[in-house]
Structure 1
Amino acid sequence: MSITPMWRVDRDGSMFTDKKAAEEYDRMLELAANITSLLEDRFEINEDLAEEIGLMFAKNKEAFAKAFKGKPDLILEIGNSSEADDTGDEAAA
């Protein structure tokens, strides 16, 4: 019998076999929550839409960072790449 250590992300209950991946995913969810909160505080926006936008920004933070540094065309590629749908996690939820 083998034992596999697992890490659970408290924010959504996702399970990971890699601690680093779990921590990275948790940081992504925290960023998404903060963006969601900002949107809800600053605009009259539906809570679900604000959460969806927050997750999109958080999942694509590298593309947004590069776009803000002078490569604005990268924003247009967000919906077209598999990176937009892939969080890079090994969730076994």
Structure 2
Amino acid sequence: MATNTTTKKPSAAAEESTESVTDTTEARPERTARRAPVVVGPPLNEGQEPVTVTLSHHLRIDGADYTPGARIPVSPDYARRLRGQGFTART
């Protein structure tokens, strides 16, 4: 297997872009705090109300861990899927 031993020279456009750096801090909008989602998992469909379920097993949804016994608001469709897969407690 052959290797290339020549060095790569930066292009003229790359050299120009490093020389002319502009400050755009005024153009950036202010950051707002992220609100917690209304439901965990998939979003609600039009006209649906969230359903609160109690988990019977550890579950990781969207990068957040939920322990057994946690009560989480989910969409009715997602609640039906969780019940079918055995993730909700029988209460």
- TM-score, length-normalised on structure 1? 0.20
- Higher relative contact order, chain-length normalized (CA < 8 Å, sep 6+): 1
Which of the two has greater strand per residue?
2
Q: Which has the larger radius of gyration?
A: 2
